[in-house]
Amino acid sequence: MCGIVGYTGYRRAQPILLDSLKKLEYRGYDSAGIAVCGEGLELHKTKGEIAELEKTLPEIEGVVGIAHTRWATHGKPSQKNAHPFLDCKKSIALIHNGIIENYLEIKEKLIEEGHEFTSDTDTEVVVHLLEKYSEDGLEKAMLKALHDIEGSYGFVAINSKEKGTIVVARKESPLILGKGNDENFVASDIPALLKETNKIMQLHDGEVATLTPKSIKVVDLDGNEVKREWKTITWNVEDAEKGGFEHFMLKEIYETPETIHNTLLGRVSELQFAPTLHNDFSSVKMVACGTSYHAALTGKYIFEEIANISTTAELASEYRYSSRARERPLTILISQSGETADTLGASREAKLRGCPVWAITNYMGSSLAREVGERNVLYTRAGIEIGVAATKTFTAQLIALYLAALQLASQRHAKTSDQIRRMAEELRTLPRVAWGVLGKASEIRSLAKKYHKVEDAYFIGRGRNYPVSLEGALKLKEISYIHGEGYAAGELKHGPLALLSEETLVVAIAVQDHTYPKMLGNIREVNARSSPILGIGYEDDEELHRYVDDVLYVPRVSNILSPVPISIALQLFAYYVAKERGCEIDKPRHLAKTVTVE
């Protein structure tokens, strides 16, 4: 998410830091900042681009420094919320990637102890903790601070009283150390280091490293030294941006477990799943476009089952021009970018209709977040998505919808607190489930090899997996240019059966929920037309294989959560089919990542 760089050596730090930071621009950001140890500590930061920062930067002397690009999660994009942050004495500077879950508690305590805060961020508490524990030096201060913190982090800190030293710490947020000659580097991602060095070491979770120009020491959380190996990498910058994956889409699908974790972070442990709702409403309407609309439609099933509230989903482009009903449903706008013109138009329309509004988006400070008010937004925290086809952000939207449904269930007493707690706990298992699906990549690739030549594909599902079939078809068509259609399986006999032949692939989602017997019936209907069938079912399903040509098994979860593993499997299937067909995967023809026209 955020971009992090640090340098200690014998050359002027400023140009090296800015140059390295620019290599991380592709990840997206909303503000940038730099701190360099010269005579004292010099800090400069701005909202907006690195180029903006450069316009106002003087030439700073100093051979150690840190720099950061921020992707907002706590506190709006603004200069005051940009990193680095300084302690009260202005000698320690800190940058951070991640989320501190218990920052409010820590902040209250630090304020009581006399610390003064300048931002709305979670990060700032940590620089004040470093100040509080600074007596024995920065490394010890970091180790002590880490014991107070819950959450995820990649921290990089400097202290003007310990010139030449950088201390870094990692938990669930990448940090890479780079070794030079009489100079050392740290960054959140490899592209930032490549111009300077190809000797790198990935810091592991629970490790703290201290860098000086001539040394790098790694210790565990108890301060015991850890011996680690250096690797020489041969990637070019483009390979490095893709993290070694051939396409951003594949990289982003592989980021799904981490994304799920980030979307859940802090929300499950505090049983505060989403913003509190104060309005009165008796139904919910979800409004969105494209893939986000498929999340919305899945949301209908999730809300009705978990929160026991009547829910509809509507396309934003239709909702805007529909006649105004008398009802005032809670209207939830869903948009990855927060900039889709039709979804923004729909949010204005919902407000005109007097509906309470909520938004689910990935971008803090986006037009949608501003439109509905930051307090009414549930952020998906998926990080930047570069591939045009939405993948990890779709999964993050599903997770946000489960959280929102739990919030509603709790406020409306639709479930007992025990039931809510149990469901919330199961959400925490989803990163592992996602890894389970990713573990099937080579199997999925073989299936893609077998079926990549079809020109027509129908995806069928029932209930909560009907929208997943729509999304499976959309993924396939947009990146492989195969004609794909999603259908509610029960609708096959009302028209589409006429199109089925030996040349038509049917992907049938058949999880063992209450729709399973009917789904098997629909599969038999397809069988009778001789179309090849790829079934998608639970790992321990011993029946499905009898009715279909191939089965792609996904880990079993509670049925309500089944859209998560299945949609990840379908994303991989679409990816490998498109790859077999030699398509331009990350930038499909005629499509844009953000659609700001109606």
- Per CB under 6 A, the segment of 28-36, 168-176, 287-295, 540-548 that binds ligand F6R is 287-295
Considering the complex, state which of residue 303 and residue 575 has its C-beta at the smaller distance from ligand F6R: 575
Task: Between 3 and 588, name the residue whose CB sits nearer to ligand F6R.
Answer: 588
Separation of CA 328 from chain center:
31
Least distance to ligand F6R, CB of residue 455, Å: 21
The amino acid that residue 148 corresponds to is D
Residues of 176-213 as b/e, b for ≥16 C-beta within 10 angstroms?
Answer: bbbbbeebbbbbbbbbbbbebbebbbebeeebbbbbbb
Q: Tokens in use for 567?
A: 């949609």
Instruction: Please state, as a whole number, how many other Cβ atoms lie within 10 Å of the Cβ of residue 11.
Output: 14
Residue 289 makes contact with ligand F6R by CB under 6 A: yes
Q: By CB under 6 A, is residue 292 in contact with ligand F6R?
A: yes
Is 346 among the residues that bind ligand F6R (CB under 6 A)? no
SS3 content of the chain, % helix, strand, coil (to 5): 40, 20, 40
Q: Residue 266, interface with ligand F6R (CB under 6 A)?
A: no
CB contact at 8 A, 336 and 385: yes
Minimum CB–partner distance for residue 478 and ligand F6R (Å):
6
Give dist(CA 203, CA 194) in Å, integer: 17
- Residue 87 binding ligand F6R, by CB under 6 A: no
Q: In one letter, which amino acid is 286?
A: M
- Three-state SS at 408: helix
Q: Among residues 212, 259, 340, 480, which is the contact residue for ligand F6R, using CB under 6 A?
A: 340
DSSP per residue, 519-554? HHHHHHHHHTTT--EEEEEETT-SSGGGTSSEEEEE
290 contacts ligand F6R (rule: CB under 6 A) = yes
Query: Stretches 15-23, 153-161, 335-343, 412-420: which one binds ligand F6R (CB under 6 A)?
Result: 335-343
* Shorter beta-carbon distance to ligand F6R: residue 256 or 340: 340
Any residues with CB less than 8 A from the CB of 478 and at least 6 apart, and which? Answer: 388, 389, 588, 591
Smallest gap from residue 357 Cβ to ligand F6R (A): 15
335 touching ligand F6R, by CB under 6 A: yes
Residue 595 makes contact with ligand F6R by CB under 6 A:
yes
Nearer to ligand F6R, 317 or 527 (CB): 317
User: Is 337 near ligand F6R (CB under 6 A)?
Assistant: yes
Strands (DSSP E) found in 390-531: 456-461, 483-488, 504-509
The reply on whether position 389 binds ligand F6R by CB under 6 A is yes
Instruction: Pick the binder of ligand F6R from 91, 121, 159, 343 (CB under 6 A).
Output: 343
What value, to the nearest 5°, has the Cα angle with vertex 195 and ends 191 and 200? 65
411 vs 594, which CB is nearer to ligand F6R?
594
HSE value, Cβ hemisphere, 13 Å, CA-based, for 132 = 21
Which of the stretches 18-26, 253-261, 329-337, 507-515 binds ligand F6R when contact is defined by CB under 6 A? 329-337
> CB–CB of 486/474 below 8 Å?
yes
Judged by CB under 6 A, does residue 390 bind ligand F6R?
Answer: yes
What is the C-alpha separation between 204 and 44, in angstroms, rounded? 30
When the beta carbons of 394 and 553 are compared against ligand F6R, the nearer one is 394
Kindly tell me which of 53 and 289 has the beta carbon lying closer to ligand F6R: 289
237 binds ligand F6R (CB under 6 A): no
Q: Which stretch binds ligand F6R (CB under 6 A): 289-297, 439-447, 540-548, 559-567?
A: 289-297
- Judge whether 143 and 157 are in contact, CB under 8 Å: no
What positions carry a catalytic annotation? 2, 593
Residue 584 in contact with residue 481, Cβ under 8 Å? no
Task: Decide if residue 480 touches ligand F6R (CB under 6 A).
Answer: no
Amino acid code (one letter) for 118: T
Token pair of 203, please? 């810091």
Residue 322 CB, shortest distance to ligand F6R, in Å, is 19
Residues 6+ apart with CB under 8 A from 508: 460, 461, 489, 519, 522, 523, 526, 533, 534, 535, 536, 548
Q: Does 291 bind ligand F6R (CB under 6 A)?
A: yes
Per CB under 6 A, does 336 bind ligand F6R? yes
Tell me the two tokens of residue 337: 């970018």
The 352-371 site mask, x for binding ligand F6R (CB under 6 A), equals --------------------
Q: How far is the CB of 558 from ligand F6R (least distance, A)?
A: 26
How near is the Cβ of 516 to ligand F6R at its closest, in Å?
Answer: 29
User: Using CB under 6 A, which residues numbered 419 to 478 contact ligand F6R?
Assistant: 478
> According to the binding rule CB under 6 A, does residue 515 interact with ligand F6R?
no
Write out the residues near ligand F6R by the rule CB under 6 A. Answer: 289-292, 335-337, 340, 343, 389-390, 478, 594-595
